[in-house]
Amino acid sequence: MHCPFCGVDDSRVVDSRPAESGNAIRRRRECEACGNRFTTYERREHAVVVRKRDGRAEPFSSAKVISGVSRAMAGRELTAETLDHLARSIEAFAEEQGPEVSTEEIGRRVLEALRLLDEAAYLRFASVHKEFEGASDFGREVAALEEGP
Ligand SMILES: [Zn+2]
């Protein structure tokens, strides 16, 4: 955090307290270079809202992404690190699209990521996400997969 008086990026927190009914933290800082004091606020980033197919909205949850992907990847080798990386990339995507993103958009993005990781898991996830009506849909998906990106 650059000092507004001298521009030096070297300050220490001299006071820290809740603000805005607990939605922010107010910090008084003292510049180590010029000694002037200034205030910073730390706020929670606006949550991304996920719009579901039935029109209801809920806050984006990377935990839900992880549990959905874990189910699709059941029995497959997938490290916690890979899963975490995937979840973070989906979260970054949601924030990019935000403040509102649809479950379809998130699902598509997860599919793209899964497809690169594991084709069988991709198909399993696709069958849930796209609510396939029959074998023809599944066959089309397999055909699309074989065509490659
Ligand atoms: Zn300063």
Distance 44 CA to ligand 1 centre (A): 26
Report CA-CA distances (Å) from 82 to 70, 79, 115, 117, 127.
Answer: 11, 5, 14, 9, 22
Residue 12 CA to ligand 1 center (angstroms) comes to 11
CB 131: neighbour CB atoms within 10 A?
A: 9
pLDDT at 132 over 50: no
Helix or strand (DSSP H, E) at 81: helix 80-97
Distance separating alpha carbons of residues 13 and 91, to the nearest angstrom: 30
Q: What is the pLDDT of residue 15?
A: 92
Q: Which of 46, 43, 71, 69 is nearest to 59 (CA)?
A: 46
Compare 91 and 135 and report the one with higher pLDDT.
Answer: 91
Dist. CA 11 → ligand 1 center (Å): 8
Is-contact 49 101, C-beta < 8 A? yes
CA of 14 to the centre of ligand 1 (A): 14
pLDDT at position 127 = 74
- Place 38 in a pLDDT band, splitting at 50, 70 and 90: very high
Answer yes or no: are the C-beta atoms of 50 and 58 closer than 8 Å.
yes
**Can you give the pLDDT at residue 87?**
84
Using pLDDT thresholds of 50, 70 and 90, give the confidence band for residue 119.
confident
pLDDT digits (tens, 9 = 90+) for 49-103: 888 888 888 888 888 888 777 777 777 777 778 888 888 888 889 888 878 898 8
Terminal C-alpha separation, the chain: 43
> Would you say residue 10 has pLDDT above 90?
yes
Q: Which of the four pLDDT bands, split at 50, 70 and 90, describes residue 133?
A: very low
CA 49 from chain center: how many Å? Answer: 11
* 9 CA to centre of ligand 1 in angstroms: 8
Q: How far apart, in Å, are the Cα atoms of 14 and each of 26, 86, 87, 106?
A: 11, 38, 36, 42
Q: Please provide the average confidence, as pLDDT, over all residues in the chain.
A: 80
Evaluate if residue 130 carries a pLDDT over 90.
no
Nearest by Cα to 107 from 96, 94, 117: 94
